Amino acid sequence: MADELVVQQGIRVTNVARTIVDIARSEMFEQAVVVGDAALHRNAVTRAALAIALERARGRVGIPRAREVVRLLDGRSESVGESRSRVLMHMSGIQDVHPQGAILGPDGTIIARGDFVHDDGLVGEFDGMGKYAKHRLPGETPGDALAREKRREDAIRAAGWHVHRWTWADLHDPDRFIERFWSALEHARRHASPERQWRAT
């Protein structure tokens, strides 16, 4: 439809919502989630616009898969690695995982934010190569940033949580990623404190 077209640098292209739906219909599931998450995170598209685009594409090839992609999209994912992690969790039946959960101390104040928080007491952290450089404070050295991250993790553990980390190498080996995640989740179920607190962001 004409209102699905926009002009970018003098070239007519489909708008963001239509483009995401088309990618979800025709490309790999993981790639589509990565693109859709990024668009939602940057406020480049709304869920209402995606719903309209899905309705307009009804009957086209790949629409059932596009609907599944759109259901999984979450603008709280802050990186490609976090989006890919969510896809692997979804495909493996891991449920009750919340992106960017706020971990609370005994007095109810926020002490940290986890990439993923599981209801059973697990905080999951994706460690991309640029993570610590990206979040370095002014004047902070890489060593300072690493030490600060260690103190943050210690605080999360002290608040009653089990912390599990993974990297790009784990995402490139899905079976290993899932095996390690399930193992960490079982550990959390056995050892996490019932006093732990968190809230969605």
Note the pLDDT of residue 148.
86
d(CA 99, CA 124): 9
C-alpha distances (whole Å) from 92 to each of 67, 156, 179, 183 are 19, 26, 10, 13
Domain co-membership, 65 together with 90:
no
Domain co-membership, 53 together with 139:
no
Note the pLDDT of residue 10.
77
What CATH number has the domain bearing residue 110?
3.40.960.10
Sheet containing strand 110-118, edge to edge, reads 162-166, 122-126, 110-118, 97-104, 197-199
Note the pLDDT of residue 185.
97
pTM more than 0.75: yes
Domain co-membership, 39 together with 71:
yes
Domain co-membership, 109 together with 62:
no
- Contact in structure between 123 and 161 (CB atoms under 8 Å): yes
Domain co-membership, 88 together with 180:
yes
Note the pLDDT of residue 132.
55
The residue from 20, 43, 75 where one domain ends is 75
Domain co-membership, 147 together with 174:
yes
Domain co-membership, 179 together with 98:
yes
Note the pLDDT of residue 8.
75
Domain co-membership, 8 together with 100:
no
Query: Phi and psi dihedrals of 29, rounded to 5?
Result: -55, -50
Domain count, the chain: 2
- Supply the range of the domain harboring residue 117: 82-199
The residue from 75, 103, 125 where one domain ends is 75
Cβ-based burial of 148 (10 A; exposed 0-12, middle 13-18, buried ≥19):
middle
Amino acid in the structure at residue 103: I
The residue from 26, 56, 75 where one domain ends is 75
Domain co-membership, 148 together with 90:
yes
pLDDT in tens, 151-183: 999 999 999 999 999 999 999 999 999 999 999
Q: Tell me which residue has tokens 């104040």.
A: 109
pLDDT in tens, 3-21: 777 777 777 789 999 999 9
Mean pLDDT along residues 143-157: 88
Domain co-membership, 67 together with 86:
no
Of 116-125, 143-152, 181-190, which range is least confident? 143-152
Domain co-membership, 163 together with 185:
yes
Domain co-membership, 24 together with 102:
no
